Amino acid sequence: GEPHQDGACDHEGQCVLLAIWSVAGDLMRRHLGEYTLESIASMARGESPWPQTVTV
């Protein structure tokens, strides 16, 4: 389970940061999971387009 749930944390801001890092980690795993070694090698050889930059 997640640490310090339901206001049981005595380190202000730490719990919310753990949650934010957890979400960021999940998003990164999903994004990076879209690539394979084959697709990366194909991009490196110029056979496939490079990933597009996302602007926020």
Q: Which residue has the tokens 């206001």?
A: 7
The confidence score (pLDDT) of residue 2 equals: 60
pLDDT at residue 9 above 70? no
Query: Could you tell me which of 56, 17, 49, 19 has the C-alpha nearest to residue 35?
Result: 49
Token reading at 46: 């110029």
What's residue 15's pLDDT? 74
Sign of CA dihedral 33, 36, 37, 43: negative
- Residue-level pLDDT at 24: 94
Rounded CA separation 30/35 (Å): 10
